C-alpha cells in the first residue's frame, strides 16, 4: 500500500514575504473541511488544488473561492444535474460563510488585545517580561454584568459557604430577602428561609417543588437525644424543641419558601456535594448524611453524575420561572471540602472531594451555557487558586479575609457601580 504523503503546514503563510504556494494536499483538506461532498466541492478541488496553484495564503484561497461563488454559477448550471445545483450552490455558499466566521474567531482566541479583559487569556505569571501578573492579585472574571443593585431583591441557599454570602449581603445593606427565621439567627439569618443547609442539587429541585406544591415531602421526624431537639432530615440544622413544634411548622415553612422565590429577582445557589442519600420509598434526597442507625434502612447512598446534576438544576430553574419568569440565578461551587465521603471503600476522601468539585463545576458550566439569565460566580476558583492562605486551621473553612476578597469579586462582577 502506498504511504500517504504528509500535508504541509507552514506557520507563516499569511504574514511572511515568501511567495511559496500552498501545498495542494493542504488545499484539499481545507476544501474538505468547508464543503460537503458533491459537485461544488469536486469542482473547487479540480480548479484550486493543483500543484501549480498561486495561492500563498489561506486568505487568498478563500478570496478565490468567494469569487467562484460570485462569478461561476453559470458554469455549474450547465454541468450539474438540473434541479440539484441551485440548492447545492446556496448550501455550500452558506458553508463558506460559516467557515470564514469560525476561522476569524478561532484565529484570535489567544489574542489578548481583543478581549474584554486582556488578562483573561494567559495564566498570571509574575516572571513574564510583558504584563507580569500575580495569581494572588487576580480576580478571575471577564466582564461585569449589570445584575444587582443594593435594592434588588436577592436571596440565597446552599452549603455553609452560602451562609457566608447571606451574611455579607445583609451586612452590606443589600436587599436580602428573608421570609422566615428564628431567634437564634439574630438580626442576620444565614439563609432566606429556614430550609437549612443544602449540599446537593436534588435538594434545590425539591425546594422549588415543595414551594409550589409539586412534591409532598416525606413527613419524617428525627429526634436528636444528645441535643434534645427534633429535626426534619430534609431540613438540615433546623431544630425544634418538640415534635409538635416541628409538625406545626411544616406548612408555614412551605409558604415561606414560596414567598422567597416569588420575591427574589436574583437568587444565588451554592453547590456542595455530588454524594447524597436518597429516601428509598419515594426518591426524595436528604440534605445531608444519615445521623442514626434508624436512617440506613430507609436511605441509600448515591453519587450523582454531571448529567444528573444538570437535570436537577434545570428542573429547579424551570419551576421557578414558571412562577417568577424574570428571576435570574447565580450559581457557584462551594470551596469547602468534604467532611467525609461515603465512598471510602474505594476512594479516599481527598480524591472523592476533588471528583465532587469537578463534577459540580462541569454541571454548573453546562447549566449556565444552557440558560439565559444564569451566571457562574467563581468562588471555588478564588479559594483554590487566587487567595494565598485562605483556610482556617481546620483546613475546611474559609478565613474572614478570604470571604471578603471573594465578595469583592462578586461586587465587581454583578453589582452596579451606582447601585
Structural domain boundaries in the chain = 24-107, 154-414
Closest CA to 290 of 250, 342, 336: 342
- For 93-114, how does the pLDDT look when each residue is reduced to its tens digit (9 = 90+)? 899 999 999 999 999 999 988 8
Lowest model confidence (mean pLDDT) among 46-50, 226-230, 281-285, 304-308:
46-50
Options 3.40.50, 1.20.1300, 2.60.40, 3.30.70; CATH for 154-414 is: 3.40.50
pLDDT for res 3: 60
Decide: 140 and 146 in contact? Cβ < 8 Å.
Answer: no
Q: How would residue 322 be classed by pLDDT, with cut points 50, 70 and 90?
A: very high
Prediction pTM value = 0.88
The predicted structure's pLDDT at residue 394 = 92
Q: Which of 7-11, 212-216, 407-411 has the lowest mean pLDDT?
A: 7-11
> Angle, nearest 10°, between helix axes 39-48 and 85-106?
60
Q: What integer pLDDT is reported at residue 317 of this predicted model?
A: 98
DSSP sequence for 256-289: HHHHHHHH-SEEEEEE--SEEEEETTT--B-SS-
pLDDT of residue 292: 84
pLDDT (0 to 100) of residue 184? 72
DSSP assignment of 326-383 equals T-EEEEEE--PPPS--S-TTTS-HHHHHHHHHHHHHHHHHHHHHH-TTEEE--HHHII
The pLDDT of 385-408, averaged and rounded, is 92
If pLDDT is split at 50, 70 and 90, which confidence band does 15 have? Answer: low
* pLDDT for residue 74: 61
351-373: average pLDDT: 97
Amino acid at each position: 500500500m502506498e504511504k500517504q504523503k504528509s500535508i504541509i503546514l507552514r506557520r507563516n503563510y499569511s504574514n511572511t514575504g515568501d511567495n511559496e504556494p500552498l501545498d495542494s494536499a493542504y488545499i484539499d483538506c481545507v476544501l474538505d473541511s468547508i464543503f460537503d461532498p458533491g459537485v461544488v466541492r469536486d469542482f473547487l478541488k479540480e480548479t484550486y488544488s493543483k500543484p501549480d496553484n498561486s495561492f500563498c495564503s489561506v486568505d487568498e484561497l478563500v478570496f478565490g473561492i468567494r469569487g467562484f461563488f460570485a462569478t461561476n454559477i453559470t458554469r455549474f448550471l450547465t454541468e450539474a444535474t438540473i434541479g440539484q445545483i441551485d440548492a447545492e450552490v446556496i448550501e455550500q455558499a452558506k458553508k463558506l460563510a460559516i467557515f470564514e466566521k469560525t476561522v476569524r474567531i478561532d484565529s484570535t482566541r489567544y489574542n489578548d488585545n481583543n478581549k474584554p479583559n486582556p488578562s483573561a487569556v494567559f495564566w498570571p505569571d509574575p516572571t513574564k517580561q510583558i504584563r507580569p501578573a500575580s495569581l494572588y492579585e487576580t480576580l478571575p472574571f471577564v466582564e461585569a454584568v449589570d445584575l444587582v443593585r443594593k435594592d434588588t431583591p436577592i436571596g440565597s441557599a446552599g452549603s455553609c459557604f452560602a451562609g457566608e454570602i447571606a451574611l455579607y449581603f445583609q451586612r452590606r445593606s443589600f436587599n436580602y430577602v428573608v421570609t422566615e427565621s428564628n431567634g437564634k439567627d439574630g438580626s442576620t439569618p444565614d439563609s432566606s428561609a429556614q430550609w437549612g443547609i443544602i449540599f446537593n442539587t436534588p435538594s434545590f429541585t425539591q425546594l422549588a417543588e415543595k414551594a409550589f406544591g409539586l412534591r409532598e415531602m416525606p413527613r419524617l421526624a428525627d429526634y436528636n437525644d444528645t441535643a434534645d431537639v427534633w429535626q426534619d432530615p430534609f431540613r438540615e440544622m433546623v431544630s425544634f424543641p418538640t415534635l409538635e413544634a416541628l409538625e406545626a411548622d411544616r406548612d408555614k415553612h412551605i409558604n415561606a419558601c414560596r414567598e422567597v422565590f416569588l420575591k427574589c429577582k436574583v437568587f444565588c445557589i451554592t453547590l456542595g456535594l455530588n454524594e447524597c442519600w436518597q429516601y428509598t420509598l419515594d426518591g426524595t434526597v436528604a440534605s445531608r448524611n444519615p445521623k442514626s442507625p434508624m436512617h440506613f434502612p430507609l436511605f441509600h447512598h448515591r453519587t450523582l453524575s454531571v448529567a444528573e446534576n444538570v437535570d436537577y438544576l434545570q428542573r429547579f430553574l424551570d419551576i421557578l420561572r414558571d412562577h417568577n419568569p424574570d428571576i435570574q440565578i447565580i450559581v457557584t461551587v462551594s470551596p469547602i471540602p468534604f467532611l467525609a465521603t461515603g465512598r471510602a471503600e474505594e476512594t479516599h476522601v481527598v480524591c472523592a472531594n476533588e471528583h465532587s468539585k469537578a463534577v459540580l463545576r462541569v454541571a454548573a458550566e453546562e447549566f449556565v451555557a444552557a440558560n439565559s439569565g444564569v451566571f457562574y460566580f467563581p468562588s471555588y476558583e478564588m479559594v483554590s487558586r487566587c487567595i494565598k492562605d485562605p483556610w482556617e486551621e481546620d483546613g475546611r473553612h474559609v478565613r474572614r479575609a478570604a470571604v471578603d476578597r471573594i465578595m469583592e469579586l462578586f461586587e465587581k462582577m454583578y453589582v452596579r457601580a451606582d447601585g
